[in-house]
A and B are shown apart, each in its own frame.
Chain A
Amino acid sequence: MAQLRCENISVGYEDGIVVSDVSFELNRGDYVCIVGENGAGKSSLLKGILGLAKIQSGKIEYGDGIGRADVGYLPQQKDYQKNFPATVKEVVMSGFLNKMGLRPYYNKAEKEKAMAILQDFGMADYVKASFGSLSGGQKQRVLLARALCATDKLLLLDEPTTGLDPVATEELYELLKRLNREKKTTILMVSHDLNKAVSDAGLILHVNKRSGCGYFGPADKYLDSEAARHFLGLDCKDNKDEAETKSGNEADNGSGRKSPLLDKVEKGERYV
């Protein structure tokens, strides 16, 4: 049974629907990358699943021993967190909030677990350091540790390598791969790094601006798909390296060119 099943979900805000008609399912140990143009609603899709944005239609089901509280989340970092006066310990421990209920303080088992995770991530020496003083890669590891305090079953990540240098980026990807392999942590990650997505993830979910799911399937077959060819702006699959340089322009006229695959999910009146 799938841990998470999304059936034709549409996510939107007050001024309209951002993503529509996305269907996919996650099984234990899956590593799924969500790719798509800028503004295609990849982050909104994650937010919809987490209950931060409104699901306008469709349904989300949890299964395989997973509930709404067993989802770990690594959001995009916010500006004001740069100089926020919080220690690494305070940040990591806040991951346990979902298990606390009305208990006002963390218990000993939780403290030990947090320490073990930090140790594992090579951050044990920074427990008392201020979060703001860490490097970009260290901050992400701390936030990942926080997400793991919430759960090690299912992690949702929103462009976790934004702003990281190449070394830190590589380290973070390695860490995710290791979690996925050793702990069978299911990973659903929004990524702008197409090469890495194809090489690391088992599955790719391609989201199109307003018109839903362009591709959901094995990563190694993704580059042959219609969605990928449109995304990359080419009709041959060899120049995949161009993927990263194309984004802004493509996002604007991307929705104008519709692939035959998407025609069947088109329902004109629902789009603003």
Chain B
Amino acid sequence: MFDTLKLLFSYDFIVRAMVAGGLVALCCALLGVSLVLKRFSMIGDGLSHVGFGALSVAAVMNVAPLAIAIPVVIVAAFFILKLGKDSKVQSDSAIALVSSVAIAIGVTVTSLSGGLNTDVYSYMFGSILAMSRTDVYISAALSVVVLILFFVFYHKIFAITFDSDFAKATGVKAEFYNMLIAVLTALTIVVGMRIMGTMLISSLIIFPTLSASAVVKGFRKVVIISGIVSVVCFFAGLYSSYSFNLPVGASIVLANFVVFSILMIVGKILRK
């Protein structure tokens, strides 16, 4: 195993995947705590589909993928939050609408330009080769912002997650923080979805929070444990993907699933 690890670190693309992916996994877990507990889990799913649409269009137009995907996904995040507040469209339907339209656009544009190529396939299911040097920088900057947000505004984030009406009534700008969380989620997803895949990235947001809440009952502990779980599962998935030649996104999701199952059982036993 030691030799495998040594070999692992000798490949540039793996080191990049580890650094950028590990940071993305940490950001997803922290942002996920607020999203999942507020019943906004599906926002990650919706945004990743929008990301797929944008990346496909970028691939066809032959421009830098992030230059198109980042602004489009941020706009989509605003749109989903706005639609969700409007009572005429429920937020779950809003997300489903936005997702399927984005996928439809992506697939249509791709087929007009000559069918599914390897780029588009890897956007769907992720690729260990996906992380570039730019991704490493972006994910590092993102995780710094997310960590600052959680350290400095921790209590405000707790308040808007637990009870946004009360938070607003006591003068917290809940809408601003919700928007900030959505925008950071959008950025994290665009960076992360190319290694994890469109279909699988939302599990990075949802699983860690669920795993952590299975065993601990305080918000602070859930935040800390979900961060740890997410990063550990990411490395376990990446490692098994490399050693057994498995698709990387799927391995990470399965690692999360195994940890989640174990913690659920542990939680059940502890509560007895």
Interface residues of A (CB under 8 A from B): 14-15, 47, 50-52, 68-69, 71, 73, 75, 78, 80-81, 83-87, 90-91, 93-95, 97-98, 100, 104-106, 128-130, 132-133, 146, 150
Contact = CB atoms under 8 A, between A and B. Distances in A.
Contacts of B86: 14
Interface of B: 37-39, 86-87, 151-156, 158-159, 162-163, 165-172, 212-213, 216-222
Contact of B158 (A68, A75, A86): A86
Given A85-B218, A86-B158, A97 B168 contact: no
Given A52-B168, A94-B158, A104-B152, A81 B163 contact: yes
Contacts of B38: 80
Contacts of B220: 90
A97 B37 contact: no
16 contacts: A50-B169, A68-B171, A73-B166, A75-B166, A81-B162, A81-B163, A85-B213, A85-B218, A104-B151, A104-B152, A104-B153, A106-B155, A129-B217, A130-B217, A146-B166, A150-B170
3 shortest interchain CB distances as A-B pairs:
A130-B217, A98-B170, A50-B169
A85 B171 contact: no
Contacts of B170: 69, 73, 95, 97-98, 150
A91 B221 CA distance: 14
Most buried by B among A81, A90, A98, A146: A90
A80 B213 CA distance: 14
B154 A87 contact: no
Contacts, number: 89
A149 B158 CA distance: 16
A85 B37 contact: yes
B155 A104 contact: yes
B167 to A, nearest CB: 7
A93 B153 CA distance: 14
Contact of B219 (A14, A86, A100): A86
Given A80-B38, A97-B156, A98-B171, A86 B166 contact: no
A132 B213 CA distance: 12
Nearest to A69: B171
A81 B163 CA distance: 8
Given A80-B39, A104-B151, A104-B154, A97 B159 contact: yes
Given A85-B37, A90-B218, A78 B163 contact: yes
B173 to A, nearest CB: 11
A128 B171 CA distance: 27
A87 B222 CA distance: 11
A50 B171 CA distance: 9
A94 B159 contact: yes
Nearest to A105: B155
Given A97-B170, A100-B155, A130-B217, A86 B162 contact: yes
Given A51-B169, A95-B170, 17 more contacts: A50-B169, A52-B165, A71-B169, A83-B213, A84-B37, A84-B162, A86-B158, A86-B217, A86-B219, A90-B220, A94-B159, A97-B167, A97-B171, A100-B155, A104-B154, A146-B166, A150-B170
Contact of A94 (B165, B166, B212, B216): B166
Contacts of B212: 85
A75 B236 CA distance: 43
Contacts of B165: 47, 52, 73, 75
Contacts of B162: 81, 84, 86, 90-91, 94
A85 B217 contact: yes
A87 B217 contact: yes
A247 B44 CA distance: 42
